[in-house]
Amino acid sequence: MRSSRVSSGPVACVYRAYEGGDLVATGRLVFDAVPAEGDEVVLNGRTHVVRAVDFGSGEVALTLEPTDLTQR
């Protein structure tokens, strides 16, 4: 079985976006490589920070938080 951390092409990640502790969006994003905790990604025109990366269940799952909330 191949590790989900190694990719020879685009990788689809499931995301959960939170704002103020509330889940506000879920979906899938495609990246050239799996983002790391602390990386910034753009979702719906807004920059988010990757707070967690989970490799369980055979899919890469990201926890996102908007950067404008982390700078307050």
Confidence band, pLDDT 50/70/90 cuts, at residue 68: confident
The 10s digit of each residue's pLDDT in 7-51 is 567 999 999 999 999 999 999 999 999 999 999 999 989 999 999
Measured from the Cβ of residue 59, the count of other Cβ atoms closer than 10 Å reads 13
Q: Can you give the residue ranges of every domain in the chain?
A: 11-70
Average pLDDT over residues 43-66: 93
Nearest C-alpha neighbor of 37 from the set 26, 48, 27, 29:
48
**HEC per residue, the chain:** CCCCCCCCCCEEEEEEEEECCEEEEEEEEEECCCCCCCCEEEECCEEEEEEEEECHHHCEEEEEEEHHHHCC
CA within 13 Å, CB half, 70? 14
